[in-house]
A and B are shown apart, each in its own frame.
Chain A
Amino acid sequence: MSVTQPELLPELPSLSKLYLNAAGMAAKNRLLGSDRGPGLPEYSAQVNHVVAGLPRLTAYQHLLGNTARDVMPAGFVHTLAFPVAMQVMVREDFPLPLLGMIHLRNRVESFTPIHYSQPLTIRSWARDLAGHRAGTQVDLVVEVRADSGDDVLWRGVSSYLAKGVYLPGVDRPAPASMPEDFNAPEPTALWRLGVDTGRQYAAVSGDFNPIHLSALSAKALGMRRSIAHGMFLASRALAEVRSPEPDAFEWSVSFDAPVYLPASVAVRIVDDRDADGGWHGSGYLGWNRSTGRRHFSGRVAPLSEGP
């Protein structure tokens, strides 16, 4: 089965280097034209023996409003695994340009609590290249296992959009009907996000994408100000929905309008409980109170069955 063997990386790739490579490649493609193929390469990247650093875990837990438990929050596992997904996206044969890609949706299934000392194997690949009315979208799948174990402990699927990129052979769907009007409900919380929110999350997640760091670096990529990391918003919502996190749960989010920093985000969390108070899930929603635009919406729910 050599065709499907993942490329084994010696260690977690450095995200800042990956961003640098991506920038370099973008420049090169502008000059020489891209030789990217239209389809997805049959490629997956894997890193073994990944162990979370306790200081970074604790810093993450504190920033997101989690108690520093010995079990890693699902959002932290995302940050731990993110460089492996990046490795897939920065390759020459990956058909979409990394820089400027928009995070549309994210879905995580966390099957079991993962102790911070557990060495992990992380594998990632891309799938489901598809047309989108505004460009081309792709799913990045990440699976996390115990080192040399075979059970998936955590699985994340991140859907990204390369805006304005249309690939030959990838169907362009008819424009979707206009999104239904968003009627803002009464918020249950109001998040005040300082201008340094992006930098703080970058420090604990390692995701130093320039659009999050400062107004200046964001402008260089066509944003009017820096924006909050989508996964920061989703992770903070998760922390507010359930702390401690359930043992097995799914956690999804869809991103709408970006959150320009600094910001005040209205948030509503609604628990779905049965008559006995048993928890069946929670929905969450974030929006801008002055513009009435929705920033994100998602759900956290217990997982009763395996993947």
Chain B
Amino acid sequence: MGVPSEDAYTRFVSAGFGRDLAKRLGLPQPAVLRRYSPHQPLLTGPVLVLGFSQQADAVASALLDWDLDVRRHATPKEKLGAMVLVLDDLSHPSDLAGPVLAAGASLRDLAASGRVVTVARDAAEASDPAAAAARAGVEGMLRSLAKELRAGATGNGIILHGEVDPSSASALGALRFLLSARSAFVDGQFLSVSIPEAVLPEDWERPLAGRVAVVTGAARGIGASIARTLHRDGARVIVVDVPAAGEQLARVANELSGTALQVDITAENAGDRILEHAGQRYGRLDIVVHNAGITRDKLLANMDPVRWNSVIAVNIAAQLRMNEAFLTSELFTDRPRIVSVASTSGIAGNRGQTNYATSKAGVIGLVGATARLLEPRGGTINAVAPGFIETDMTARMPFATREVARRLNSLQQGGRPEDVAETVAFLASGGAAGITGRTVRVCGQNLVGK
């Protein structure tokens, strides 16, 4: 049961008596995040574009095309919706002082749930050490800045690879996502854009119009939320879950005017059955979201084969097998998208989860290696790694553990299933055409891992 809600603590400390009490006791005061809903403005105030390159001007003019109120210089005391630092022409770390300090001077004017986005080139591709130092420096600066931001504001960056320019369609697609409320729980992260071409949506409200998506594990929780979000963004959705969850699955399908397919994804022919259904009913398949996953936690010393094997089978082996079917299918050829749900456990590890972390790290590996297989089809594959997301699964954690886990990030709260869903929907859209083989964390800048 995916549930849209602030946690009780956040709500408590955000209102009247609780707020006063929290202040007095010095408790963290997590902000209520601005989340996406159709027809809302992209930003809550003007956007300040910093940087001196031609590309900075090009980005500013692209933002104007989105009907944003663009500033090239800060107006004192004016509340800003976002700041974009276009840093594509760094040649030495000393080049950073100008734009970064200018951003710093305006931080106090950043509105609640505001955005800071850096756009820089990949350090590893720099031609000389000074440029590499400057480019890498951006990452350290941004990650620290993200931790200093308040009131639900987030800091994220875009790393440009190869010949991708800040004002290229794919970089702008990524920028729009990071500016929008869709990225509410994405914080301290970098999106790597390596392909310049992208077909940006004609209608930003329905970026997935005409696309057919399948979501596994869609009967409840994050999966149901992903299905809802893809549907909201215009996709026709096939929801998949095990037969035992069929009743909830039918509910989700009926709510979304989609179709329900009861299939165990670990079955040998699961991929073929999904393709058969998609082919029969829609004549195509454009988006695959591998969301189905299980946990069977145990310390490795006590791990039994059943626990280990079932987690590997559901969380990674099933995806590998299904992808083989999708990648050879004629139905899956029009700019196809695969998005896998990984986990921050797969990045940082987690006590008691050797099996789960193996499978989720495996997903991250799978995604990296599958990217080139999709390239000839103009397709992409990426993973989303959720941090602490408030779901049924986490609700079963012991109270204290949960409370601590929830606050261990820069936004000082757990995310919601929709936060994961929004990032999945972005990666499935035309705006994310430049991003492939990557893992995007949706964790509120969790302290674990990088």
Asked if residues B8 and A146 are in contact (CB atoms below 8 Å), the reply is no
Asked if residues A150 and B1 are in contact (CB atoms below 8 Å), the reply is no
Chain A residues with Cβ under 8 A from B35's Cβ? Answer: 305-306
Asked if residues B255 and A306 are in contact (CB atoms below 8 Å), the reply is no
Chain A residues with Cβ under 8 A from B89's Cβ? Answer: none
CA distance A18 to B247 in the complex (A): 38
Cβ-based interface call for B328 (8 A): no
CA distance A4 to B24 in the complex (A): 14
Chain B residues with Cβ under 8 A from A148's Cβ? Answer: 395-396, 399
Asked if residues A305 and B4 are in contact (CB atoms below 8 Å), the reply is yes
CA distance A152 to B6 in the complex (A): 8
Known: A149-B390, A304-B37. A1 touches B4 (CB 8 A): no
CA distance A42 to B17 in the complex (A): 10
Chain A contributes a number of interface residues (CB within 8 A of B) equal to: 28
Asked if residues A307 and B4 are in contact (CB atoms below 8 Å), the reply is yes
Cβ-based interface call for B7 (8 A): yes
Chain B residues with Cβ under 8 A from A153's Cβ? Answer: 1, 3
Asked if residues A307 and B21 are in contact (CB atoms below 8 Å), the reply is no
CA distance A292 to B12 in the complex (A): 44
Cβ-based interface call for A219 (8 A): no
Asked if residues A307 and B392 are in contact (CB atoms below 8 Å), the reply is no
Nearest A residue to B394 by beta-carbon distance?
Answer: A149
Asked if residues A112 and B37 are in contact (CB atoms below 8 Å), the reply is no
User: Which residues in chain A, 101-159, are within 8 Å of chain B measured between CB atoms?
Assistant: 111-115, 118, 145-153
Asked if residues A112 and B9 are in contact (CB atoms below 8 Å), the reply is no
- Chain A proximity of B448: nearest CB distance (Å): 21
Chain A residues with Cβ under 8 A from B12's Cβ? Answer: 4
Cβ-based interface call for A247 (8 A): yes
Cβ-based interface call for B45 (8 A): no
Asked if residues B21 and A112 are in contact (CB atoms below 8 Å), the reply is no
Cβ-based interface call for A70 (8 A): yes
Asked if residues B255 and A118 are in contact (CB atoms below 8 Å), the reply is no
- Chain A proximity of B115: nearest CB distance (Å): 20
Cβ-based interface call for B284 (8 A): no
CA distance A51 to B251 in the complex (A): 21
Cβ-based interface call for B18 (8 A): yes
Cβ-based interface call for B236 (8 A): no
CA distance A246 to B392 in the complex (A): 21
Contact with B along A197-213 (1 / 0, CB 8 A): 00000000000000000
CA distance A268 to B418 in the complex (A): 36
Asked if residues A150 and B251 are in contact (CB atoms below 8 Å), the reply is no
| A/B pair count, beta carbons within 8 Å | 74
Cβ-based interface call for B91 (8 A): no
Cβ-based interface call for B2 (8 A): yes
Chain B residues with Cβ under 8 A from A147's Cβ? Answer: 395
- Chain A proximity of B170: nearest CB distance (Å): 30
Nearest A residue to B1 by beta-carbon distance?
Answer: A112
Nearest A residue to B418 by beta-carbon distance?
Answer: A306
Cβ-based interface call for B416 (8 A): yes
Asked if residues A306 and B392 are in contact (CB atoms below 8 Å), the reply is no
Nearest B residue to A247 by beta-carbon distance?
Answer: B255
Asked if residues A248 and B251 are in contact (CB atoms below 8 Å), the reply is no
The contact of A4 among B18, B414, B418, by CB within 8 Å, is: B18
CA distance A302 to B390 in the complex (A): 22
Asked if residues A115 and B248 are in contact (CB atoms below 8 Å), the reply is yes
Cβ-based interface call for B144 (8 A): no
The contact of B5 among A113, A114, A150, by CB within 8 Å, is: A150
Nearest A residue to B399 by beta-carbon distance?
Answer: A148
Cβ-based interface call for A3 (8 A): yes
User: Which residues in chain B, 1-42, are within 8 Å of chain A measured between CB atoms?
Assistant: 1-9, 11-12, 17-18, 21, 25, 35, 37-38
- Chain A proximity of B193: nearest CB distance (Å): 30
Asked if residues B7 and A151 are in contact (CB atoms below 8 Å), the reply is yes
Chain B residues with Cβ under 8 A from A170's Cβ? Answer: none
Chain A residues with Cβ under 8 A from B2's Cβ? Answer: 112
Chain A residues with Cβ under 8 A from B251's Cβ? Answer: 71, 113
- Chain B proximity of A68: nearest CB distance (Å): 13
Give me the interface of A with B, judged by CB distance under 8 Å: 1, 3-4, 42, 70-71, 111-115, 118, 145-153, 246-248, 304-307
Known: A4-B17, A150-B7. 8 other contacts (CB 8 A): A115-B248, A147-B395, A148-B396, A149-B392, A149-B395, A152-B5, A248-B4, A306-B35
The 5 lowest CB-CB distance pairs between A and B, nearest first, are A306-B4, A151-B3, A149-B395, A151-B5, A150-B7
16 A-B Cβ contacts within 8 A?
A: A3-B21, A4-B18, A71-B251, A112-B2, A115-B248, A146-B1, A148-B395, A149-B392, A151-B3, A152-B3, A152-B5, A306-B5, A306-B35, A307-B4, A307-B6, A307-B11
